[in-house]
């Protein structure tokens, strides 16, 4: 049952990532990978919230937790695409843009995970 939950969650997460990319490209243009950045940031915030809930309540069934974390969030976040985007920028001579993207992705992802975790912990006390 858990394997099915992960597979379904991963499929939905991948479609969500694709949707974010298409939406951001239409809205903001294609000169910066905003969709990948958004997917990673949303995924980190969401993971922090889920981990905080599980830590405080411990009542999330294993299949549900696997669907959300290993399935949906892992399918939605895009580490390999993130590395590809950054390396493409660097290769194309957009070094400052690549460094900004790399730094913002990592720093803001860590910060949003902490915000999600702290928020869930404080709400569920």
Each residue's pLDDT tens digit, 9-22: 999 999 999 999 99
Token pair 């969650």 is found at 9
**DSSP assignment of 62-110:** HHHHHIIIIIIIHHH--HHHHHHHHHHHHHTT-HHHHHHHHHHHHHHHH
CA 109 vs CA 26, 44, 56, 104, 124: distances in Å: 24, 6, 22, 8, 22
pLDDT band at 33 (very low <50, low <70, confident <90, very high): very high
H-helix or E-strand spanning residue 37: helix 34-57
57-70 pLDDT per residue, tens: 887 899 999 999 99
- Residue 70 CB neighbours (<10 A): 18
Q: pLDDT class for 78, splitting at 50, 70, 90?
A: confident
């Amino acid at each position: 049952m858990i394997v099915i939950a992960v597979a379904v969650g991963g499929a939905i997460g991948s479609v969500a990532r694709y949707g974010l990319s298409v939406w951001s490209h239409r809205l903001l243009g294609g000169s910066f990978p905003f969709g990948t950045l958004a997917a990673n940031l949303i995924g980190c915030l969401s993971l922090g919230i889920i981990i905080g809930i599980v830590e405080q309540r411990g009542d999330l069934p294993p299949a549900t937790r696997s669907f959300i974390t290993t399935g949906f969030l892992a399918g939605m976040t895009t580490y390999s695409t993130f590395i590809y985007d950054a390396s493409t920028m660097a290769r194309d001579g957009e070094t400052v843009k690549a460094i900004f993207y790399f730094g913002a992705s990592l720093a803001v992802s860590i910060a949003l995970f902490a915000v999600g975790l702290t928020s869930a912990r404080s709400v569920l006390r």
